[in-house]
Structure 1
Amino acid sequence: MYTCIKNARVILPDRMLEKHSILIEDDRIINVFPDDNVALPSDCKIIDVEGKYVGPGFVDIHCHGDKDNWFYDDPVAVSRSHLAHGTTSIMATARLLPTHEEVLDSVIAIADGVEEDPDTTVIGIHMEGPYMNPKYGAYRDRSRIPKREEYYEYLKAGKGLIKTWTIAPELENINQMVADIQAATKGKTIFQVGHSEASREHISTLFPSGLKIGTHLTNASGRFVDPPKFLGTREIGVDESVWLDDGVYAEVIVDYHGSHVRYDMLKLIIKIKGVDKTIIITDSTVAEYAAPPVYEGINDVNYTDDGELMGSALTMDKAVTNV
């Protein structure tokens, strides 16, 4: 079956093509050409997008839900909600819940929901915690030290879908956890540093074990030596460690007002890491609480019951336009 998307502004890696058509056979693009420049197959379905942009789908590697549902509430509804905004591949990100049993149940719910949906856009599960530093992030008191029996249960419940895992490298037992997870998954798990004040040494020690991403940089991150060794100086922290290593990617939450990442900070991150190592994410969460009065009018981020930042109300189409 042939489909032709015509009258499009086609986005390519290095340029945009005005008034072009895209010819698709089954599920594969076979040609891109100027409008009305190629004879189409007689059975071709034509879709006129009337000058709208057409490009690759977005990939969101850090998303907890949409405005109505957490991923564990309804994985199908959440993934389709984000698909409507151009996200064709998404990592269902586990929420930091109060108990092991609640986290486990959420992973089971996500994995079962994905398994039952043949058209899912979910490409994996991102475990954000619970093995993070209890000094950092929303609901930080829910973070804890790794326990072997717990993380093996998460792996089993995930049915092979757990692809990435945010950890705090400075925690007790974390190196053993990383080794166990990599042994169980044959080295296929990607680790992320986040909600952490790990030293450069803590972080670099885990590079050979699959630590490749910094989780939502400049958010919930600190420094291992604080106060600094010498008054008036600055120690290297988690963010700087991620910037320093060319092999590590940097997640950024790009909301409109720069609530998570200030405008100039975003410019600095992109300048250091480059566009190929900077990952735009939504960190989308359910809007459970109203914005505190001081943040009135900022409507693309979410808050805890205490008025702290708790992810965003972004979709990827909005996030990309904010860069």
Structure 2
Amino acid sequence: MSQRTIIQNGKVIFPDKIEENLSIVCEQGKITAIVKPEQVTPSADDRVIDAKGNYVSAGFIDIHTHGGGGHDFMDGTVEAFLGAAETHAKHGTTALLPTTLTSTTEELIKMFATYKEAVKQNKKGAKFIGLHLEGPYFAYNQRGAQDPKYLRNPEPEEYNRILEASDDIVRWSLAPELPGALEFGKVLREKSILTAVAHSDAIYEEVLDTFDAGFTLATHLYSGMSTITRRNAYRYAGVVEASYLIDDMDVEIIADGVHLPKSLLQFVYKFKGPDKTALCTDSMRGAGMPDGESILGSLEKGQKVIIEDGVAKLPDRTAFAGSVATTDRLVRTMVEIAEVPLVEAVRMMTLTPARILKIDQQKGSIQQGKDADFVIFDNNIHVSYTIIEGNVIHNS
């Protein structure tokens, strides 16, 4: 008989409610039963986890992160991947999408091999569930902290080479108004790769056309995207407005309390709702690190940034340069600042990102048959346990 993991004495958060007086039984990395405590008798071989009255949630899923703990995925080393994954696991992340920055094709392809090796060696960190390529196909005026020297338009010769070099790409973010972007989007849709609108100067009509071509997600809503603009004296709605007007468009937000103030967090929640809004860290290497100087991107080719006021900024402080958030902070921000009910804030960090990535049959909620990924935290969203596929990864 294989060892079971049994979680007891917790307030279990389901997608639509919180229940107490339950025991969750896990075997071989899966949830095998959710029953009353008297219906399961632990054996001497079982690992019994006492939640001590704290909340038990499905594991947090971060679909957009560049690193953490002093590591960036663009460092291109296995150590960077593992270090970032371990840092985020301490804060409740059980699965994540390592995300790239604008770079050369050669740098990307080199990183693909590193990713595969990191997947094999990752035993103590959040599980890698695929790669997210952010760029290099962005609008110059919406580049944010992305290095402008690497910006370019999508060309079949280049993106086909990239796609042929890796079967781990599950998401690609780009500006849909660029020449060739519509055709590229159709290629990504044929390969079942999630395509997202990002760092874009598009107007509503352009976004609508590309939504039909497969651009179904808005990358970090409000950050690096157009809003109402004038062209030849006429007003046009931008990407922000399109994200609301297109009912089936999913959005992700950096809910660190800095990138978006309380009013915008509440606006997104009210008009897109928890089922269409995923929380993401968009964290750089400074996540989980003290304030001071840091680097956005690889140690070799990255840009210097400053971490202060709970966010990374460009040295001249003219723009944010990525967040230093962790997933527990995102949930805490939505509950304490945006005043969103805990159940819905957790859903935006679990089931909604799982559904967007089409892995909600395996992850994203506490349900029999799904992966045994859990976070146990208190009323202040301070994490005491992170459990991945039934294994305790973090215990504070």
TM-score interval (norm. to shorter): 0.7 to 0.9
Corresponding position: 1:174 with 2:181: yes
SS in 2 for 1:310: strand
Shift of 1:87: 1.4
Alignment match, 1:262: 261
Identity among equivalent positions (%) equals 32
Where does 1:181-260 land on structure 2 (aligned, <5 Å)? 181-182=188-189, 186-223=190-227, 225-226=229-230, 229-230=233-234, 234-256=235-257, 259-260=258-259
How far apart in 2 are the matches of 1:161 and 1:71? 14
Residue 127 of structure 2 is aligned with which of 116, 121, 124?
121
Shift of 1:272: 1.2
Structure 2: runs of 5+ lacking an equivalent:
287-293, 295-303, 335-396
**CA RMSD for the aligned pairs?**
2.4
Q: What count of residue pairs does the alignment treat as equivalent?
A: 307
How far apart in 1 are the matches of 2:168 and 2:7? 33
Residue 12 of structure 1 is aligned with which of 11, 14, 17?
14
Residue 44 of structure 1 is aligned with which of 39, 42, 46?
46
Shift of 1:51: 2.2
Shift of 1:130: 0.3
4+ residue runs of structure 1 moved beyond 4 angstroms? 115-120
Alignment match, 1:163: 170
- On the 8 A contact 1:104/1:153 being kept in 2, the answer is no
Moved more, 197-206 or 134-143: 134-143
Alignment match, 2:58: 56
- On the 8 A contact 1:131/1:145 being kept in 2, the answer is yes
Cα gap change, 1:151/1:10 in structure 2, threshold over 3 Å: closer, same or farther?
A: same
How far apart in 2 are the matches of 1:219 and 1:276? 20
User: Which amino acid letter does the alignment assign opposite residue 219 of structure 1?
Assistant: S
Shift of 1:152: 1.9
- On the 8 A contact 1:62/1:91 being kept in 2, the answer is yes
Alignment match, 1:90: 96
SS in 2 for 1:241: helix
* CA shift digits 1:279-314 (9 cap, x unpaired): 10000102315648xxx5x12x21233332111111
Shift of 1:187: 3.6
Shift of 1:56: 0.3
User: Which amino acid letter does the alignment assign opposite residue 2 of structure 1?
Assistant: R
Residue 5 of structure 2 is aligned with which of 3, 6, 15?
3
Using CA pairs under 8 Å that are at least 6 residues apart, name the structure with larger relative contact order, 1 or 2: 2
SS in 1 for 2:233: coil
Shift of 1:242: 1.0
Shift of 1:188: 0.4
SS in 2 for 1:94: coil
Cα gap change, 1:31/1:113 in structure 2, threshold over 3 Å: closer, same or farther?
A: closer
- On the 8 A contact 1:228/1:235 being kept in 2, the answer is no
Cα gap change, 1:226/1:107 in structure 2, threshold over 3 Å: closer, same or farther?
A: farther
Moved more, 215-224 or 238-247: 215-224
TM-score after normalising by structure 2: 0.71
Structure 1: runs of 5+ lacking an equivalent:
none
Cα gap change, 1:154/1:112 in structure 2, threshold over 3 Å: closer, same or farther?
A: farther
How far apart in 1 are the matches of 2:90 and 2:8? 20
- On the 8 A contact 1:242/1:249 being kept in 2, the answer is yes
